């Protein structure tokens, strides 16, 4: 059953510290006698990550409330100009279509796991038009795929949700893909989505309005950015790195050799421990044997390549270590 999100504008108006304007759609910050210092337009691509969107909106509305000023104003847009459905099937109402976007300082495009299915010439041309108008362009979650399709990221540093790394690197070798929560030091801003969007927004708030406000926003969101930075991009490896150094070495070597799996004895040798000790570590921390965990990693790679690339099945099998 579809869920229509029609969060009351009265609550948002109060939290943003502004007058109510009688608007009943979610997400818009309509013009009043006070003009916001920075206006964001956020394009929602079908199947987008709702968590990613809300992390961005919450950071801005909290900054407005704590500062007592209208630092940020935002509008939502989609292809049909009425709504967009996110990955959990909730429907988010919007105010604009691609042809009638409001004037803004920044434009973020937010997409989801099936981003390739929703890239249209209309969307790409919209981004190119906004860029030509001087709007700062950014992308969240898998949105870097769209920017790369538009030709924006050639020779630029960018990041994307870790689930897309292999397919993105293959399709866009001209882009300097980095394993980072966000990239905000070049022409384009990209973030890997989810909670990493909060890291990006706190960074922007700090740059534009000072570290004190950024820290206050983080406190209101009960957010520990340093913990997120420690986990970085691939939780399957980064969390392990925090748990046990020897185990992390073995898992890293697994990730590096998915196309040509190493025997357990060699993994143990590279980790500097015995095979039996390695097996104990896998049982203790990962509730699995080295062999089963290795197989899971290889199957995960095969799944990503099957769903995100046009490579032949035999080629994918070889890249995942299933052809000897």
Reported as a single tens digit per residue, the pLDDT across 122-160 is: 999 999 999 999 999 999 999 999 999 999 999 999 999
**Same domain, yes or no: 199 and 174:** yes
Higher pLDDT, 16 or 36: 36
Alpha carbon distance 115, 143 (integer Å):
8
**Is residue 91 packed enough to be buried (19+ CB in 10 Å), middle (13-18) or exposed (0-12)?**
middle
- Mind giving me the DSSP string for 230-285? HH-S-HHHHHHHHH-HHHHHHHHHHHHTTTSPPPHHHHHHHHTS-HHHHHHHIIII
Residue the block writes with tokens 């795929």? 145
**Same domain, yes or no: 161 and 189:** yes
**Same domain, yes or no: 68 and 134:** yes
Alpha carbon distance 301, 43 (integer Å):
30
Q: Of 224, 253, 280, which residue is a domain's last?
A: 224
> What's residue 119's pLDDT?
95
Residue 229 lies in a domain: no
Residue the block writes with tokens 């968590």? 51
**Same domain, yes or no: 187 and 268:** no
Residue 76 lies in a domain: yes
Alpha carbon distance 308, 159 (integer Å):
16
pLDDT tens per residue across span 19-52: 332 222 334 433 333 356 899 999 999 999 999 9
**Same domain, yes or no: 244 and 219:** no
Alpha carbon distance 111, 45 (integer Å):
5
Q: CATH code at 133?
A: 3.40.50.880
Q: Of 224, 256, 272, which residue is a domain's last?
A: 224
Residue 238 — pLDDT band, cuts 50, 70, 90?
A: low
**Same domain, yes or no: 69 and 212:** yes
Q: Of 177, 198, 224, which residue is a domain's last?
A: 224
Comparing CA positions, the residue from 193, 207, 1 lying closest to residue 89 is 1
**Same domain, yes or no: 162 and 300:** no
Print the domain residue range for 308. 235-319
Question: Total domain count for the chain?
Answer: 2
Q: Which of 1-5, 58-62, 221-225, 285-289 has the highest mean pLDDT?
A: 58-62
**Same domain, yes or no: 117 and 136:** yes
**Same domain, yes or no: 162 and 255:** no
DSSP-derived pairing of the beta strands 106-110 and 38-44: parallel
Residue 324 lies in a domain: no
For the whole model, what pTM was predicted?
0.69
**Same domain, yes or no: 20 and 55:** yes
**Same domain, yes or no: 260 and 292:** yes
Q: Calculate helix-pair angle for 264-271, 290-308, nearest 10 degrees.
A: 100
């Amino acid at each position: 059953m579809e869920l229509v999100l029609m969060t009351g504008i009265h609550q948002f108006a109060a939290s943003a510290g502004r007058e109510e304007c009688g608007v009943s759609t979610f997400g818009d910050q309509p013009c009043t006698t006070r003009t916001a210092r920075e206006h964001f337009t956020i394009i929602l691509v079908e199947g987008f990550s709702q968590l990613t969107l809300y992390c961005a909106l919450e950071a801005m509305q909290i900054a407005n409330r704590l500062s007592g000023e209208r630092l940020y104003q935002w509008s939502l847009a989609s292809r049909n100009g009425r709504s967009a459905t996110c990955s959990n099937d909730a429907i988010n109402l919007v105010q604009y279509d691609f042809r009638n976007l409001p004037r803004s300082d920044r434009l973020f495009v937010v997409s989801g796991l099936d981003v390739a299915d929703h890239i249209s010439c209309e969307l790409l041309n919209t981004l190119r038009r906004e860029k030509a108008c001087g709007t700062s362009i950014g992308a969240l979650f898998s949105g870097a795929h769209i920017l790369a399709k538009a030709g924006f990221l050639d020779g630029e540093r960018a990041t994307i949700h870790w689930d897309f790394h292999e397919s993105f690197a293959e399709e866009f070798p001209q882009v300097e893909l980095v394993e980072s929560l966000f990239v905000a030091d070049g022409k384009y801003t990209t973030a890997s989505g989810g909670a990493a969007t909060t890291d990006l927004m706190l960074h922007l708030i700090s740059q534009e309005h000072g570290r004190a406000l950024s820290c206050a926003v983080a406190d209101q969101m009960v957010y520990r950015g340093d913990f997120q930075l420690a986990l970085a991009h691939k939780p399957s490896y980064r969390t392990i790195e925090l748990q046990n150094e020897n185990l992390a070495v073995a898992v890293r070597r697994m990730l590096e050799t998915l196309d040509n799996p190493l025997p357990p004895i060699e993994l143990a040798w590279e980790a500097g421990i015995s095979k039996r000790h390695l097996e104990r570590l896998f049982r203790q921390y990962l509730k699995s044997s080295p062999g089963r965990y290795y197989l899971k990693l290889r199957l995960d790679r095969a799944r990503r390549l099957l769903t995100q690339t046009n490579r032949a099945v035999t080629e994918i099998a070889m890249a995942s270590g299933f052809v000897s």
